[in-house]
Amino acid sequence: MYGWTFTQLLYVAVANVSLSFALFFWFRRSKNSARNVPKSPVFHSISNAANRSLDADVIVIGCGVVGSSLACSLARDGRTVIAIERDLTEPNRIVGELLQPGGVRALKKLNLESCLDGFDAQPTCGYVIHDVQTQSQIHIPYPTDSDGTTLSGRAFHHGRFIMALRNAAKKEKNLNMIEGTVTKLITQDDRVIGVQYRPKGSEDTSEVYASLTVVCDGCFSKFRRALVTSAVSVSSHFVGLILHDCEQFRHRHAELVLSETSPTLVYKIGPNETRVLVDVNGKLPSDIKTYLRNVVAPNFPDHLRGSFLKAIETQVPRSMPNSFLPSHSSFIPGVIALGDALNMRHPLTGGGMTVGLSDVVLWREYLGGMKDLGDGEELRKAMERFQWRRKGAHAFVVNILAQALYALFAASDADLGQLRRACFAYFRLGGRAVSGPVGLLSILSPNPFVLIGHFFAVALYAVYFSIADEKWAIHRGFWRAGNVFTKACKVIFPLIWSERHVLV
């Protein structure tokens, strides 16, 4: 390329990221004390439940991917569980359809891998990235096992996967699944002791009590504000369509189309069905079909464009907000938050379900070692360990990778565009320049230091391009190089700071 080897770039990157490493270890520890239950309409305080017997060991609010897998796992471990879900019919969503290989591995740890069978879940063996500006492609395969077998992910209809998890949970004798809407968390002496809920089809409310309540009610969580101190920010929306009988550029590979307008994610969710998710930055256009037809479609690769145009004419496009939520938790005895209620990131990298399932693996381990789930101090220590351990592994990597890649792939200025160009050139180096990032993307090797090292290797590659492009005006090249590196720091350092450890 420009004569720089990967090793040289990596050494320079390591020398220039000492500050980012320091920030990573300089995460703030929490004050080791619980705060009082805040005044909020989602809490209902009572004083006469002292003699009320417990209905279960654990109450799980929400039976999505995280709630169902947690409820099933805890029931298998001998805990009595009550899981409450607003609607137990099959959900129909346009996201939560791509499970990375790391998520498949987490399912195996939970002994739930059979939930991927029986509904045509499609193996996904890597990505093809289309750069519309240069009319070129990059193949990014997932890692291989020791025997040479590609470690694949899965893509599927979200609702079918949810129903498979719920059906597995319903088979557990220690679990009672209730269809109803949780209206309040019941508290006594500044701790959550149960929930109030309204059964579906009824106007009356009922109450159930447990030693621990787990809030897993998703991206539109009713209880998040009381349990998570950070705020949700929405940067863009995914607009979804389904293409029928559409060819894949490479068999069993998801595709990422990068154009001047927005990134688009494409993957098969059935034998003859291909999901298209178009990222629309900011507010959605008033006439979304016209936008897709006139702005997005001309930038599509040839093998997708015809099916995409047909889908625009025959379907009603659906949208979902792309949210970012750092996992800064409040500690209230008797309750924890998990899944999208706790932590969200841009879904461009498809890491959300894997983070949630990996969190379930951790909590199953912690709760399995707790004799008394009602011990507030022991729960606080478990939450502390959970936050540090997830940030040192899957959560830190997935959250920062998703937000950073989106910033580059949805580049709106020249400096970010230079970083995106460098990212493509970096992948073309092959070897560790691909195996390292794909280990992060697949969430099979989620190492924070590897993530930061590769990010700054790309940034320094962009610096070199900026200087090399200005052969006859070297001073201008250095000026632009400084701007590009500054822009890279503005992308990564706020994300690192957002992952600092906060438990109040």
Which residue do the tokens 């000026």 mark?
Answer: 479
**Interstrand relation of 263-270 and 273-281 (parallel, antiparallel or unpaired):** antiparallel
Q: Which uninterrupted H or E stretch holds 73?
A: helix 65-76
Phi and psi dihedrals of 194, rounded to 5? 170, -170
Nearby residues of 286 by Cβ (< 8 Å), 6 or more positions away: none
Give the pLDDT of residue 6. 46
Cβ-Cβ contacts under 8 Å for 397 (sequence gap 6 or more): 440, 443, 446, 447, 448, 451
User: What are the start-end ranges of the H helices in 113-184?
Assistant: 158-170
Report yes or no on whether pTM surpasses 0.75: yes
Contact 457, 496 (CB under 8 A): no
Output the pLDDT for position 38. Answer: 72
Q: In tens digits, what is the pLDDT along the chain, a chain of 504 residues? A: 444 454 444 444 444 444 444 444 444 443 444 456 777 789 888 876 555 789 999 999 999 999 999 999 999 999 999 999 999 999 999 999 999 999 999 999 999 999 999 999 999 999 999 998 888 999 999 998 888 788 999 999 999 999 999 999 999 999 999 999 999 999 998 999 999 999 999 999 999 999 999 999 999 999 999 999 999 999 999 999 999 999 999 999 999 999 888 899 999 999 999 999 999 998 899 999 999 999 999 999 999 999 999 999 999 999 999 999 999 988 999 999 999 999 999 999 999 999 999 999 999 999 999 999 999 999 999 999 999 999 888 999 999 999 999 999 988 788 999 999 999 999 999 999 999 999 999 999 999 999 999 999 999 999 999 998 887 778 788 899 999 999 999 999 999 999 987 777
Fold match flag (43-119+156-231+325-391 vs 236-322): no
The answer to whether 307 and 12 are in contact (CB under 8 A) is: no
Handedness of CA 495, 497, 503, 504 (dihedral sign): negative
* Residue 22 confidence (pLDDT): 42
| CATH number at 43-119+156-231+325-391 | 3.50.50.60
Burial class of 480 by CB neighbour count within 10 A (0 to 12, 13 to 18, 19+): buried
**Other C-beta atoms lying within 10 Å of the C-beta of residue 320:** 16
SS3 482: helix
Residues 6+ apart with CB under 8 A from 12: 457, 460
**Inter-residue contact 443 to 394 (CB < 8 Å):** yes
In this prediction, residue 500 carries a pLDDT of 87
Q: Six-digit token pair at 345?
A: 């990131």
What crossing angle do the helices spanning 432-441 and 414-428 adopt, rounded to 10°? 110
Q: What's the rounded Cα separation, in Å, for the pair 141 and 138? A: 10
Q: How far apart are CA 373 and CA 115, in angstroms?
A: 28
Measuring CA to CA, how many Å separate 114 from each of 144, 155, 348?
21, 15, 26
What span, in angstroms and rounded, lies between the C-alpha atoms of 93 and 268?
A: 15
First-to-last C-alpha distance (Å) of the chain: 49
Long-range contacts for 36-41 (Cβ within 8 Å, ≥24 apart)?
Answer: 36/190, 37/187, 37/190, 37/191, 37/192, 37/332, 38/226, 38/330, 40/225, 40/226, 41/184
pLDDT at residue 322, as a whole number: 96
Distance CA 198, CA 184 (A): 10
Rounded to whole angstroms, the Cα distance separating 64 from 49 reads 30
pLDDT value of residue 282: 86
**Residue 274 backbone phi and psi in degrees, to 5:** -125, 125
Question: Could you tell me if residue 142 is left (phi over 0), alpha (psi between -120 and 50 degrees) or otherwise beta?
Answer: beta
Which pair of structure tokens corresponds to residue 360? 């379930």
How many residues does this entry show for the chain?
504
Distance separating alpha carbons of residues 134 and 154, to the nearest angstrom:
30
Cβ contacts of residue 421 below 8 Å, gap of 6+?
462, 465
Residue 154 confidence (pLDDT): 98
d(Cα 10, Cα 446) in Å, to the nearest integer? 18
The pLDDT value given to residue 262: 83
Domain boundaries, the chain: 6-28+395-498, 43-119+156-231+325-391, 236-322
Helix, strand, coil shares, percent, the chain, to 5: 40, 25, 35
Q: If one looks up domain 236-322 in CATH, what number appears?
A: 3.30.9.10
